[in-house]
Amino acid sequence: MNQEMFTINNLWMMVATILVFIMHLGFASLEAGLTRAKNTVNILFKNTIIPAIGLLTYGFIGFNLMYPGDAFSGGFLGLTGLGLTLPEGWDTFAYNEGYTFYTDFIFQAMFAATAATIVSGAVAERIKLGPFIFFSILYVGICYPIVGMWKWGGGFLDTLDVPFYDFAGSTIVHSVGGWGALVGAYLLGPRLGKYTAKGMSAIPGHNIPMATIGVFLLWFGWFGFNGGSVLSADPGTVSLVFVTTAIAGAAGAFGALITSYLKFKTYDITMVLNGILAGLVGITAGADQMGIGEAAIIGFIGGTLVVFAVVFFDRIKIDDPVGAISVHLVGGIWGTLAVGLFGNLAGYQQVISQLTGIGAVGVFCFLFSWIIFFSMKRTMGIRVEEKEELEGLDINEHSMRAYPDFATKE
Amino acid sequence: MNQEMFTINNLWMMVATILVFIMHLGFASLEAGLTRAKNTVNILFKNTIIPAIGLLTYGFIGFNLMYPGDAFSGGFLGLTGLGLTLPEGWDTFAYNEGYTFYTDFIFQAMFAATAATIVSGAVAERIKLGPFIFFSILYVGICYPIVGMWKWGGGFLDTLDVPFYDFAGSTIVHSVGGWGALVGAYLLGPRLGKYTAKGMSAIPGHNIPMATIGVFLLWFGWFGFNGGSVLSADPGTVSLVFVTTAIAGAAGAFGALITSYLKFKTYDITMVLNGILAGLVGITAGADQMGIGEAAIIGFIGGTLVVFAVVFFDRIKIDDPVGAISVHLVGGIWGTLAVGLFGNLAGYQQVISQLTGIGAVGVFCFLFSWIIFFSMKRTMGIRVEEKEELEGLDINEHSMRAYPDFATKE
Amino acid sequence: MNQEMFTINNLWMMVATILVFIMHLGFASLEAGLTRAKNTVNILFKNTIIPAIGLLTYGFIGFNLMYPGDAFSGGFLGLTGLGLTLPEGWDTFAYNEGYTFYTDFIFQAMFAATAATIVSGAVAERIKLGPFIFFSILYVGICYPIVGMWKWGGGFLDTLDVPFYDFAGSTIVHSVGGWGALVGAYLLGPRLGKYTAKGMSAIPGHNIPMATIGVFLLWFGWFGFNGGSVLSADPGTVSLVFVTTAIAGAAGAFGALITSYLKFKTYDITMVLNGILAGLVGITAGADQMGIGEAAIIGFIGGTLVVFAVVFFDRIKIDDPVGAISVHLVGGIWGTLAVGLFGNLAGYQQVISQLTGIGAVGVFCFLFSWIIFFSMKRTMGIRVEEKEELEGLDINEHSMRAYPDFATKE
Amino acid sequence: MKKIEAIIRTSKFEEIYKCVAGLGVKFLTFYDVKGMGMEHAKSQTYRGVAYEPAYIPRTKLEIVTVEELVEPVVNCILTVGKTGEVGDGKIFIYEVLEAHRIRNTERGEEAL
Amino acid sequence: MKKIEAIIRTSKFEEIYKCVAGLGVKFLTFYDVKGMGMEHAKSQTYRGVAYEPAYIPRTKLEIVTVEELVEPVVNCILTVGKTGEVGDGKIFIYEVLEAHRIRNTERGEEAL
Amino acid sequence: MKKIEAIIRTSKFEEIYKCVAGLGVKFLTFYDVKGMGMEHAKSQTYRGVAYEPAYIPRTKLEIVTVEELVEPVVNCILTVGKTGEVGDGKIFIYEVLEAHRIRNTERGEEAL
Ligand SMILES: Nc1ncnc2c1ncn2[C@@H]1O[C@H](COP(=O)(O)OP(=O)(O)O)[C@@H](O)[C@H]1O
Ligand SMILES: Nc1ncnc2c1ncn2[C@@H]1O[C@H](COP(=O)(O)OP(=O)(O)O)[C@@H](O)[C@H]1O
Ligand SMILES: Nc1ncnc2c1ncn2[C@@H]1O[C@H](COP(=O)(O)OP(=O)(O)O)[C@@H](O)[C@H]1O
């Protein structure tokens, strides 16, 4: 290792950090686009404040919870202090050959907020702002880093005989968000008028261009999300990850296109957009372990699954306006499993470890979210009043409209 | 060459790859913004699926067609296999001093889809989805790589005594798209009501902010498109290319602003946006051969030409909703020629070679597109029914609206 | 220094350049989103042409004015020629260890236009296009580089015993824009109907999603704006700057959220967006001198100040549709002062130097803007006619609408 | 033939439509209008400035029908459309001289 | 003076306008309305859920004119506006008591 | 009871509303309509092609009121709504047979 290589690695990690940052705009656009105009300010407000929450809480406690140090390797939980304390030689390759201490922190911090952003989509158009922000702080500040520690912090999932493998976070990041989304959407109940006596009714997203912009920005950022997870600028690995990431997204688009066309006899762009994301979530766990062909298969299946998942959750009356649960939870589980089925690590033992990880994370996140959402539901209440929901959250929680100059329906 | 330099070069090529990727969002936004609200889902659907097609087909066959190897140097066509096969030392500078095999592939793959995206703008608001997708697959998977091979793959244009010069693809990429756009728009015929008995009527784009976002994103990505075409992070060359790219775009804006103001007595932002793109397309062929002054001249002339071109194609009743032919074909030809007129390579011989390249590519792409579009027109048909066109493609091909919550006119 | 390190540094500077470029799209989106639909084409037109003006004028004269060379060190003004002349070894680390001559130019050129963009927001919805463009050319081409020379060009502010410190331009860039905005908004007077007999009336921005996209893009680009100001890829410093930049923005969001909620009892997203920007502007002057805690404090205070500032300027009837003065002038002054109050440079002497810089720049920019705007006001006039303002600038200055397919109110 | 014009709360449209449809009214036309009246719009705040949108969005209903149906239709609207709070709206009745169905040349009552 | 109100297919407006203009009708007012009737809107699908927009967008035409012109105007609409398919719409005629031109104080028929 | 329908310049609405409110008219309904008349819309240009939007956006005002108020209301509109230029619009008066207030069951004049 020399200063040049260290500088290159650190440069790539910083660029990757910026790319992950812009994913938050991707989420904001996608979620705003797939919900109604009367709730747009609200969803944007949440998605704007979430990254802020993520950066601050991660600096205050998250980073320490997630990387408590070797003392806690193989453990479930560890904390040695609050805030950031600069270690010796933090800005040299003595700290890490791939990045400085600050790069380490900021790259990780950008990831953190993602979990809450995923939730915001599923609970959109009916959750109260206060409770949501409160949940986000706890989920991003405590739940996410604890789970992250289990694997990336050297916790028990990392020390299994056949270690659980999750390259960039199909489980550690996306499923974590997905579980919170599932619990939130379930405890809130569906949006008014979504599931009526005469069956399911559609509540179309109000701005398809915004949704499309959102997905492109997410894909754009994903190159940093996965590519940065190499934790260095190693030419071979990073370029491989780029290829698998690109191909999986593309295959996901086709998986969803074909499946939704066969099922619904129509070219539904929102399904294609979800399919791209499902393909990306799917490859995330094994982005550095697959070849181009395997990436295509994983992405394609991810894109197919998401269509069935969206229909399934609708059938069991769990109302997820943007398909967050289908994309991040279902896609995340699929991607994590896929590491045991395809690529370099494929094998029976690995499947077991992957299932262990999926299960452990699932149980913990499910309970964590349930406890917070449920206790809030019983106390302050988590859902806006019927009248507010009908009129829209923008006018009621923000006394503002997203498009005041336009004649909007309803 | 050493590992550090190799890693730097490869890093820049990967960053450039991401920048080229986001250009697809740029195209999507621009084309959606310059067409009508009733066709927005359709144009976005196409622009979302195109990059997916590009990545997959290029992996399956395109890359092999474009770089068949030395065996075919000086040739017209070569193919030695399908799919990607990792060469020895693919991830070392033994493969190439600038990038790994995978970086090579993914950077090239991102370019590929561009050709089809250009076409989609010109045929917007009236082409059937199926036939368009079919065309795109063939054009991106076969036509583009074959033409690319002629120059970048060491084909006959590269082995002329005075080799044809096209740095980043004014001809190889933009004109290829432009020819397809010309043929498509011509064979489809104009949109209903565009050219009526009482003359030409305007069909304003429905969302100028989106169009603007699109052009900025394209300019943003162009730094990767041109800068990456250096195929290394060489400080001198890449920074020169950045300057010429930025200046040409800026000069293009002024060229179009002044020309359109003089012609129409109004400040038409859509012309300025087209002017920026024309400036960028113009500099693309010689971005590394020009000085700042020459870049300004080339960009300015490009911006001027595009205004005349838009008017011209309207006059001959070729209906191009977004000005794709004027920007990419006219601009591409201009830029390719400019290499013979300005900068380091300027000279009579070079002009001849440039004309040779322009001509060869033109004839091939024109015929290729004609054959596909024409045979589809005679069989399945390429144009939606009158009623569908009037009601809009969104509701008819996608049974969906882009802005369901808004009161839209018509 | 060796070629590898030079190439890395230059690579980062080029990437930073692209990031600064996209900030112009951020400004365009933010300003368009916070103004009315009837003036959208106009604001986009300005923000599209401004970067073009910036690049061209900076190449023609700005760069020379800003970096006249050592001969003028400690001075107020210097100019040794027009256009760009390549120095010996321009593309080697002999020129500079961090970048080539061209990288130097293009990075600086991207900054230049920012000043004018800031002004465009404050004078929006009522200024004539011609005069605004004329002002922008002079402000970007002459005022900005002269001020920049004082510090970054080695001028008198740089040679004070305790040199004035402005890392990335809280004063040199943001305040410069802010002063122009103040003068412009004042001399133009408020928009019709803004301050009426029965008090202040709200004129809501027409597209909150666009405004949100704008702020995220600005934050995104800010990593290049501040990170690039390190002028090398030094791992320690750049990563520190990333952290302070991210944290200050996040803290700014909370500062504005809390303050505006306490003051107005509502969750106003436009204030949160302004707060993020104020936090970013605030940290810009000392981004490399603060720790994470200080960054949080500076950002938080910045976010708080902006809310009071917006109310204040409304009270004194200076109509700033997008809050540009509050964000860039107030935020810029705060950030510049903060360097003397927090971090490594904190100290009485430094405060004095900071005040000197703030004052000198303020006086110069104020006078410069006043002279131009005032003389134009007396001659050609700077404000559109009442009828045009009521109908909207789009239809009158551009004979075009931004959203022709939508039913817009008024 | 009479024309019944009702200015109602937009939120009540669905219910009212069901009710009149129940009476055999197969056709009706409605559109968004703005109302000035006793009720006042929820005030909004933007960047610290509170303001009150000048009007309230309402829905206007138009039903042309025969004498006999006027009474029952009006009752539908009065009962279903009522919340008892200011803002419920009004109903107005007008005389219709003639009606034509464009599809065929039916006119008068059977055109309804 | 009579008022002619016609609910027509939005797509037919152009033609109808041409026709009545030919009769010397210089003024008319029209706007978008929503119709409930025999015809049903094209069903849409969103994320696998098919649904039918409750109403059909239509255009409402208002022409106030003199007795003599009522017949011909109605005929214009009946002939040009007709497709023969459900959804063609209706025409209604009302009595107008008085008319004023705001620009000058003309009233009655010459105000039309 | 009479119904006053006025097609006015959108820009004049505020003033007219103030004026009629001064007369004690507490209620009115208005909405955007499109007008064809003598006045022509400002022509626009797009990518070199000049075109003229077919119609002019206008506001339609509806006030149902008692005999006595008709004259003064009409005068308000005639005086305040007038610019003297083509495009000022028109006023039409109709008979109203009956009125109901939905909130309570008041009918006739006190329902206004
Ligand atoms: N006389 C009238 N003429 C026209 N529109 C009226 C009239 N009276 C009521 N309206 C309409 O009905 C709406 C409901 O009025 P509202 O204030 O609710 O009356 P109420 O006191 O009966 O609740 C008003 O906003 C207005 O649009
Ligand atoms: N009696 C009526 N009152 C109000 N609107 C009507 C009436 N009859 C028809 N309409 C309007 O005319 C439109 C056309 O009705 P439609 O179903 O086409 O009738 P038809 O059977 O004559 O084709 C309806 O959508 C409705 O808006
Ligand atoms: N007879 C009519 N029937 C329906 N609408 C009318 C009639 N006369 C005028 N209007 C409406 O009034 C608007 C104003 O007409 P305008 O050309 O201004 O008349 P004027 O010559 O009185 O200024 C027209 O655009 C149209 O919408």
Give CA angle at F84 (F81, F86), nearest 5°: 95
**Ligand 3 pocket check for F39: Cβ under 6 Å:** yes
User: Phi/psi at F57 (nearest 5 deg)?
Assistant: -70, 130
Q: Quote the distance between the C-alpha of residue C22 and its chain's center.
A: 13
Helix C101-122 to helix C40-57 angle, to the nearest 10 degrees?
A: 150
Q: Using CA coordinates, name the residue in chain A closest to B130.
A: A267
**B176-232 residue pLDDT tens:** 999 999 999 999 999 999 998 878 889 999 999 999 999 999 999 999 999 999 999
Cα–Cα separations (whole angstroms), residue C86 to B245, B291, B292: 18, 10, 11
Q: Using CA coordinates, name the residue in chain D closest to F24.
A: D37
**Ligand 3 pocket check for F34: Cβ under 6 Å:** no
Rounded percentage of chain F residues whose pLDDT exceeds 70? 98
**Ligand 1 pocket check for F107: Cβ under 6 Å:** no
Query: In a mutagenesis test of the B interface, which of A93, A243, A283 is the best target, namely the one with the most B β-carbons within 10 Å?
Result: A243
Cβ neighbours of B240 in C, within 8 Å: 91, 102
**Distance of CA E56 from the midpoint of ligand 3 (Å):** 27
Q: Using CA coordinates, name the residue in chain B closest to E34.
A: B407
CB pairs under 8 A between A and C: 171
**F23-36 residue pLDDT tens:** 888 888 988 888 88
**Torsion sign, CA atoms C251, C252, C256, C259:** positive
**Distance of CA F3 from the midpoint of ligand 3 (Å):** 18
CA gap A85, D25 in Å, rounded: 75
HEC assignment per residue over F55-93: CEEEEEEEEEECHHHHHHHHHHHHHHCCCCCCCCCEEEE
**C226-242 residue pLDDT tens:** 999 999 999 999 999 99
Nearest CA distance, A146 vs chain C (angstrom): 22
Residue B249: the pLDDT is: 98
Q: Are D32 and D97 in contact (CB under 8 A)?
A: no
Nearest CA distance, D44 vs chain A (angstrom): 5
Q: Are B151 and B339 in contact (CB under 8 A)?
A: no
Token pair 């349930």 is found at: A370
Instruction: With residue C298 as reference, give the H or E element that holds it.
Output: helix C292-315
Cβ neighbours of A271 in E, within 8 Å: 47-48
Cβ neighbours of D37 in F, within 8 Å: 26-28
Residue E110: the pLDDT is: 84
Nearest CA distance, A160 vs chain C (angstrom): 34
Residue C410: the pLDDT is: 57
Residue B311: the pLDDT is: 96
SS3 state of residue E106: coil
Average pLDDT in the C162-186 region? 97
Residues of chain A with pLDDT under 70: 410
CA atoms within 13 A on the CB side of E104: 7
Report which ligand 2 atom has the smallest distance to the Cα of E34: 27
Which tokens go with B89? 């030392």
For residues D11 and C134, the model is more confident at: C134
User: Phi/psi at B250 (nearest 5 deg)?
Assistant: -65, -45
Query: In a mutagenesis test of the C interface, which of F44, F49, F52, F55 is the best target, namely the one with the most C β-carbons within 10 Å?
Result: F44
Instruction: With residue E28 as reference, give the H or E element that holds it.
Output: strand E28-36
Would you call E32 an interface residue with chain B, using a CB distance cutoff of 8 Å? yes
- Atom 12 in ligand 2: which residue has the minimum CA distance? E89
**Ligand 2 pocket check for D29: Cβ under 6 Å:** yes
Instruction: Report whether pLDDT(E43) > 80.
Output: no
Q: Are C347 and D82 in contact (CB under 8 A)?
A: no
Instruction: Report whether pLDDT(C68) > 70.
Output: yes
**Ligand 3 pocket check for F78: Cβ under 6 Å:** no
Chain-chain contact of B235 with C91 (C-beta, under 8 angstroms): yes
Residue A394: the pLDDT is: 94
SS3 state of residue C169: coil
Q: Using CA coordinates, name the residue in chain D closest to F25.
A: D37
Cβ neighbours of C4 in B, within 8 Å: 2, 4-5, 8
**Distance of CA D102 from the midpoint of ligand 2 (Å):** 9
Nearest CA distance, E13 vs chain A (angstrom): 22
CB pairs under 8 A between E and F: 77
Nearest CA distance, C90 vs chain B (angstrom): 8
Binning pLDDT at 50, 70 and 90, where does residue E65 land?
very high
User: Phi/psi at D57 (nearest 5 deg)?
Assistant: -70, 130
Chain-chain contact of D47 with C310 (C-beta, under 8 angstroms): yes
DSSP state for residue B87 in the 8-state scheme: P
Cβ neighbours of D87 in A, within 8 Å: none
Token pair 């063609």 is found at: E88
SS3 state of residue A212: helix
User: Phi/psi at C39 (nearest 5 deg)?
Assistant: -120, 15
Nearest CA distance, E89 vs chain D (angstrom): 6
Which tokens go with A338? 């896929």
User: Phi/psi at D34 (nearest 5 deg)?
Assistant: -115, 135
Q: Are C125 and C36 in contact (CB under 8 A)?
A: yes
Helix B269-284 to helix B208-228 angle, to the nearest 10 degrees?
A: 10
Would you call C197 an interface residue with chain F, using a CB distance cutoff of 8 Å? no
Residue F36: the pLDDT is: 81
Beta bridge partners of residue E32, listed in sequence order: E59
Chain-chain contact of D92 with F28 (C-beta, under 8 angstroms): no
**Ligand 3 pocket check for F89: Cβ under 6 Å:** yes
Which tokens go with A229? 């997870």
SS3 content of chain B, % helix, strand, coil (to 5): 70, 0, 30
Nearest CA distance, A407 vs chain D (angstrom): 10
CA gap B321, B34 in Å, rounded: 7
Chain-chain contact of C399 with F45 (C-beta, under 8 angstroms): yes
Binning pLDDT at 50, 70 and 90, where does residue B19 land?
very high
Which tokens go with B260? 């359109």
CA gap A301, A281 in Å, rounded: 11
**Ligand 3 pocket check for E94: Cβ under 6 Å:** no
Provide the terminal-to-terminal Cα distance of chain F, rounded to the nearest Å: 9
Would you call E2 an interface residue with chain F, using a CB distance cutoff of 8 Å? no
Would you call A355 an interface residue with chain D, using a CB distance cutoff of 8 Å? no
Non-local (6+) Cβ contacts of B118 within 8 A are B27, B174, B177, B178, B180, B181, B324, B328
Interface confidence (ipTM) of the complex: 0.94
Closest of A113, A169, A142 to residue C249, by C-alpha: A113
**Distance of CA F39 from the midpoint of ligand 3 (Å):** 9
Residue F54: the pLDDT is: 66
SS3 state of residue F108: helix
Average pLDDT in the C320-336 region? 98
Cα–Cα separations (whole angstroms), residue F61 to A31, B211, C296, F4, F10: 39, 37, 55, 8, 10
Residue A42: the pLDDT is: 97
Number of helical H runs and strand E runs in chain B: 17, 2
CA gap D108, D66 in Å, rounded: 10
Provide the terminal-to-terminal Cα distance of chain B, rounded to the nearest Å: 63
- Atom 16 in ligand 1: which residue has the minimum CA distance? D87
* Ligand located closest to F41 CA: 3
CA gap C44, C24 in Å, rounded: 10
Chain-chain contact of C239 with A99 (C-beta, under 8 angstroms): yes
Residue E11: the pLDDT is: 81
**Ligand 1 pocket check for D50: Cβ under 6 Å:** no
Cβ neighbours of F82 in E, within 8 Å: 102-103
Binning pLDDT at 50, 70 and 90, where does residue C292 land?
very high
User: Phi/psi at C252 (nearest 5 deg)?
Assistant: -60, -40
Q: Using CA coordinates, name the residue in chain C closest to F46.
A: C400
Closest of A283, A310, A285 to residue A297, by C-alpha: A283
Chain-chain contact of F44 with C400 (C-beta, under 8 angstroms): yes
Binning pLDDT at 50, 70 and 90, where does residue F55 land?
confident
CA gap A366, A372 in Å, rounded: 10
**A300-323 residue pLDDT tens:** 999 999 999 999 999 999 999 999
**Distance of CA D90 from the midpoint of ligand 1 (Å):** 6
Instruction: Report whether pLDDT(E54) > 70.
Output: no
Cβ neighbours of C397 in B, within 8 Å: 267
